[in-house]
Amino acid sequence: MDIKQIPLNDLHVKLGAKMVPFAGFNMPVRYSSDIEEHMTVRNGVGVFDVSHMGEFTVKGPKALDLIQRVTSNDASKLADGQAQYSCLPNDKGGVVDDLIVYKIKDEDYLLVVNAGNIDKDWNWISQHNTQGAELKNISDNICLFAVQGPKAVSTLQKLTKTDLSSIKYYHFAVGEFAGVPDVIMSNTGYTGAGGFEIYVHKNHAEKIWHAIFDAGKEFDIKPIGLGARDTLRLEMGFCLYGNDIDDTTSPLEAGLGWITKFTKDFTNATNIKKQKDEGVKKKLVGFKMVDKGIPRHDYLIKDATGNTIGKVTSGTMSPMLGIGIGLGYVTTELSSPGSEVFIDVRGRSLKAEVCKPPFV
Amino acid sequence: MNIPSDLKYTKDHEWVKLNGNTAIVGITDFAQGELGDIVYIDINTVGQEVNQHDVFGTVEAVKTVSDLYMPVSGKVLEVNSVLDGSPEKVNADPYGEGWMVKVEVKNAADVNGLLTADQYKELIGK
């Protein structure tokens, strides 16, 4: 497969980023140090260029109907300028993708999906678009900058008349930003550090990038790579598609019951409801290492007698805590916080404790 | 990129410095840069004989874990204890304070099969 470039690729190279292929794109994984970048976002402000993410517009009288049928959360509850985390269940019990649904206004929605799933999601949603909603893939035209950290709002407020502090979490505004019209300013992110995500047409992206860095200079704003993005999201216990959820994991097992609404019909709702009533046999949990060691994707999770009870789906050293943390599926019996489990770290059984994220 | 000319290198990015019948082993500047922030050095082979090219431990970065391969056959005499509390020394000074193990070398001729600085430079395309 050809590796695609994001529009500001050359700028990141110039900034000293180490570029690696991720989800079909060459992406900045690190500019200086993962830990330093992680701390910049927790304590100050940093900017991720996540322009690899996919964006679909869904418009017209049948837009909401299509979204309701393919997603698990209830998009009819959205007010104008509100967003919601959701997922696309498949018909085999798993998840096609997780996504954010933005309601611009009636009959005008934006779906933001994972870069690695753009084609799969497009085919899936198109296949269910039997009523003629106007569906358009605008991924190649949109740049997305996640400006995250406690100093993000002070940075961004200098660039817009829109009162950012009045925009609540998972709400957004469309307006002029850094002299560019029709920019989406969304109080969302994947870090738990606060801040906004800025969606802009690629033709204005470089201008906006520089405006954000000028505005953030007094806060020592820095570019942040995907490495720190992963440790930041993991400290919050946020799922990563392809690791913690995939085509085979049930939304209920993944702890996504809160975005699975049986008040409406959607793909595979009957089976998922049945699973809810019967109870799931395994659950995605957070855990932190008691013994010294770092859990990694695919390491086995065992009980005290050495029986395998699941697998690590994401793991890292937490830069904030200085210990290993992770997410993984375990049997329901050992899924409650405080349960003692063991992670098989290259043949050694290291003690860990189940806990409820966020870790920090 | 720092690639000292007085060291020998493996294709797996370890360096070795021979000193009589002992040797010091670490990972290269290139390796630490690729790994990113190193947070844990896991070496449990002290006192053991390890054959050339066999694993003698692992190095854990924030994002990844990588095996460490022995450049020369020998007995692991010592692990750099500084790395226990300050694994970041491997990032800061991979050929100095960030050395990893001291080895009693079994056969000094092992180093003849290793890469010179120039050959290693070519390997990593620098």
Q: What phi and psi values does residue B107 have, to the nearest 5 degrees?
A: -145, 105
> CB of A126 within 8 A of CB of A137?
no
Interface of A with B (CB under 8 A): 18, 29-30, 33-36, 227, 230-231, 292-294, 296, 316-317, 319, 346
In the sheet that holds A180-186, the strands lie side by side as A172-177, A180-186, A195-201, A142-148, A46-49, A222-223
pLDDT of residue A100: 98
A172-205 per-position pLDDT tens digit: 999 999 999 999 999 999 999 999 999 999 999 9
| Pairwise CB contact (< 8 Å): A231 & B36 | no
> What's the whole-number mean pLDDT along residues A74-86?
98
| Pairwise CB contact (< 8 Å): B62 & A317 | yes
> CB of A244 within 8 A of CB of A191?
no
- Whether A327 has a pLDDT exceeding 90, the answer reads yes
Q: In percent, how much of chain A has pLDDT > 90? A: 99
Residue A36, classed as helix, strand or coil, is helix
| Pairwise CB contact (< 8 Å): A227 & B62 | yes
**For chain B, which residues make up each domain, given as ranges?**
8-106
Burial of A286 (0-12, 13-18, 19+ CB in 10 A): buried
Q: Report the chain A residue with the minimal C-alpha distance to residue B91.
A: A33
Q: Report the chain A residue with the minimal C-alpha distance to residue B67.
A: A346
What does A265-281 look like in DSSP terms, one character per residue? --TTHHHHHHHHHH--S
| Pairwise CB contact (< 8 Å): A227 & B40 | no
- Whether A19 has a pLDDT exceeding 80, the answer reads yes
- Distance from the Cα of A299 to chain B's closest Cα (Å) equals 12
> What's the whole-number mean pLDDT along residues A81-101?
98
User: What mean pLDDT value characterizes chain A?
Assistant: 97
pLDDT of residue B126: 77
| Pairwise CB contact (< 8 Å): A35 & B58 | no
A216-252 per-position pLDDT tens digit: 999 999 999 999 999 999 999 999 999 999 999 999 9
Q: What would you report as the CA-atom Rg of chain A, rounded to the nearest whole angstrom?
A: 20
A296-314 per-position pLDDT tens digit: 999 999 999 999 999 999 9
- Distance from the Cα of B109 to chain A's closest Cα (Å) equals 32
What does A306-358 look like in DSSP terms, one character per residue? S-EEEEEEEEEE-TTTSSEEEEEEEEGGG-STT-EEEEEETTEEEEEEEEPSP
Nearest to B36 among A33, A292, A293 (CB): A33
> What's the whole-number mean pLDDT along residues A146-170?
98
Q: What would the two tokens of residue A166 be?
A: 């009045």
Q: In percent, how much of chain A has pLDDT > 70? A: 100
Chain B residues in contact with A34 by the CB 8 A cut-off are: 36-37, 61-63
| Pairwise CB contact (< 8 Å): B62 & A316 | yes
The Cα A236–Cα A287 span in angstroms is: 12
| Pairwise CB contact (< 8 Å): B65 & A319 | no
The Cα A208–Cα A34 span in angstroms is: 24
How distant is the alpha carbon of residue A325 from its chain centre? 18
The Cα A218–Cα A206 span in angstroms is: 20
| Pairwise CB contact (< 8 Å): B61 & A319 | no
Classify B93 in phi/psi space as left (phi over 0), alpha (psi -120 to 50) or beta. Answer: beta
The Cα A230–Cα A243 span in angstroms is: 11
Q: Which amino acid is at A209?
A: W
Nearest to A34 among B33, B36, B65 (CB): B36
Nearest to A294 among B33, B65, B91 (CB): B65
- Whether A351 has a pLDDT exceeding 80, the answer reads yes
- Distance from the Cα of B18 to chain A's closest Cα (Å) equals 30
pLDDT of residue A1: 64
pLDDT of residue B63: 86
Nearest to B36 among A227, A293, A296 (CB): A227
- Distance from the Cα of B112 to chain A's closest Cα (Å) equals 32
B38-96 per-position pLDDT tens digit: 999 999 999 999 999 999 999 999 989 999 999 999 999 999 999 999 999 999 999 99
Q: What would the two tokens of residue A297 be?
A: 């994707």
Q: What phi and psi values does residue A115 have, to the nearest 5 degrees?
A: -55, -45
Task: Specify the CATH class of B8-106 in words.
Answer: mainly beta
**pLDDT class of B1 with cuts at 50, 70, 90:** confident
